[in-house]
Structure 1
Amino acid sequence: MKRDKIIFYIATGLLSVIVLFSVYMYVFKHEAIVGAFTSLGYPPYLIYPYAGLKLLGLFAVWNPNFKALKEWAYSGFFFAFVLAFFAHIMVNDGGHMTAALALVFLIVSYIFNKRINK
């Protein structure tokens, strides 16, 4: 059980670092992100709401009291990372590895969250 908690906290911590870095970029490097979103084919008005949803998703993943909300957050992150992976592949800008890494951390976090909360 202790090993499972350690793996959960490491995976979720690394996932959080990736997500918080992207939120930081969305807010403080807005012009660069507008260019990235435009090159990926997304409208730039999605940047701030997307940053807010990522923060809410992290809150739900870390909070043990909201079990149903946590499932939705994991689901939302899953779809966001899969779509980001394929969007970066389509424009061939090299950003797909971060999305793939985030997806791996997300899956490990989800599996070990289930194991420690049986």
Structure 2
Amino acid sequence: MKNIKMINWILVAIVALYFFLSAYIDLAHTPQAVETVKKLGYSEYFLDILGIAKVLGIIALLTPKFNRLKEWAYAGFTFDAISAIWSNIASGYPTESIAAVIAIVLLMPSYIVFRKLQYEIHAESANKYSFMKRETKIRPLA
């Protein structure tokens, strides 16, 4: 289980770094980000919404415990990436979806390892307290 934890934290760090850079680009309103958002038909303030949501997702991923919140963060990042792909294709710029495809490629193994780790932790705690589940035999009265 130690290896799974280490792999999980490496993958989480990579995902967090990727989305941190993305959030920084969004919140800084870089000329390229503003141009892309306007080209896709969104308002410039949409960058603030995306940037703040990404920062909150990163915090959720890096905070120990709060596994339900991590599930929401993974879901949010996935929705963000799928929406970016869809928006680029619908606007006639399918080649600009590469960053979103990379995000999905990074998210998939990270989420799979996260779920495997949760399963291992659950299985370990079930074994740890298995002494509580002893069957009691009923003896006849006579």
TM-score, normalised by the number of residues in structure 1 = 0.85
List runs of 5+ in structure 1 lacking aligned partners. none
Partner of 1:105: 106
Asked whether the equivalents of residues 8 and 108 of structure 1 are also in contact (C-alpha less than 8 Å), the reply is no
Asked whether the equivalents of residues 12 and 105 of structure 1 are also in contact (C-alpha less than 8 Å), the reply is no
Counting aligned pairs with the same residue, the percent is 31
Shift of 1:29: 4.2
Partner of 1:83: 83
**Residues 61-70 or 72-81, more deviating:** 61-70
1:21-60 residue pairs with structure 2 within 5 A? 21-60=21-60
Q: Distance in 1 between matches of 2:20 and 2:84?
A: 16
More helix by proportion, 1 or 2?
1
Q: Distance in 2 between matches of 1:35 and 1:86?
A: 17
Shift of 1:43: 1.8
TM-score, normalised by the number of residues in structure 2 = 0.73
With a CA cutoff of 8 Å and minimum separation of 6, indicate the structure with the bigger relative contact order.
1
**Matched position secondary structure for 1:95:** helix
Write out per-residue CA displacement over residues 62-105 of structure 1, whole angstroms, 9 at most, x where no aligned residue: 21221221111111111111111222334326332221111121
Q: Aligned in 2, Cα 1:45/1:29: closer, same or farther, shift over 3 Å? A: closer
Counting matched residue pairs gives: 118
Q: Compute the RMSD of aligned alpha carbons.
A: 1.8
List runs of 5+ in structure 2 lacking aligned partners. 120-142
